[in-house]
A and B are shown apart, each in its own frame.
Chain A
Amino acid sequence: SQTIHQWPATLVQPVGSPLSLECTVEGTSNPNLYWYRQAAGRGLQLLFYSVGIGQISSEVPQNLSASRPQDRQFILSSKKLLLSDSGFYLCAWKDPTNEKLFFGSGTQLSVL
């Protein structure tokens, strides 16, 4: 069966520090991968999605970037974090056969 791993679960970082959140999927090949952010009091916002290795689509211009170095690995990065980057980050993958989206357990990022 398929599983999705996302880490770390919580992260506290100072303003201006770099960021790297990792997400890996097991049990499937060539999944569509997504990074979402949920800011406090707001809905989920799609940040990036990828339909294949090295293919990244950005939905919102911002301080973050994403990379997909391997088929089942999706990384969210920043060179210098801002206070506004605080939030709950969710990685997800989609099963193209039934349109289902499966989410990781999320990373709570606090930028201080």
Chain B
Amino acid sequence: AQSVTQLGSHVSVSEGALVLLRCNYSSSVPPYLFWYVQYPNQGLQLLLKYTSAATLVKGINGFEAEFKKSETSFHLTKPSAHMSDAAEYFCAVHNFGNEKLTFGTGTRLTIIP
């Protein structure tokens, strides 16, 4: 069965500092991997996705993630945090041919002025 683990339910970074949100997956076959963001009182938005093409994926708002098969990881990064990045971030895994999208428990990102 596929699963996703997000390390750190809360992460705080200073404005302008590097953002690193961790995600490790477990899957018996090469997965599709996603990062979603949920701003306060809004639905989820897709940040970026990996579907077996380039291992370094660039998304919206300056975020990117790198698929590392050897580490079964798909960590989300942004070089310089902005106040507007404060939100809840979800990593998700989806196996091709399966309708399930399994989400992690989420990481709440706080930006310190």
Report A's interface with B, CB cutoff 8 A. Answer: 6, 32, 34, 36, 42-46, 49, 51, 57, 59, 90, 92, 94, 98-106
Assess the B105–A43 pair: CB atoms within 8 A: yes
- Report the bound CA distance from A49 to B32 in whole Å: 18
Instruction: Report the count of interface residues on B (CB-CB < 8 A).
Output: 22
Q: Is the interface of A mostly helix, strand, loop or mixed?
A: strand
Partner-contacting stretch, out of B11-19, B37-45, B58-66, B70-78: B37-45
Count A-B pairs with CB separation below 8 Å: 50
Report chain A residues within 8 Å CB of B105: 42-43
Q: Which of A42, A51, A98, A101 contacts B101 (CB 8 A)?
A: A101
- Report the bound CA distance from A51 to B90 in whole Å: 24
C-beta contact mask, B75-113 vs A, less than 8 Å → 1, else 0? Answer: 000000000000000101010100111111110000000
Assess the B106–A43 pair: CB atoms within 8 A: yes
Assess the A90–B100 pair: CB atoms within 8 A: no
Report chain B residues within 8 Å CB of A57: 99
Q: Which of B36, B51, B103 contacts A99 (CB 8 A)?
A: B51
Q: Considering only CB atoms, which chain A residue lies closest to B42 in the complex?
A: A105
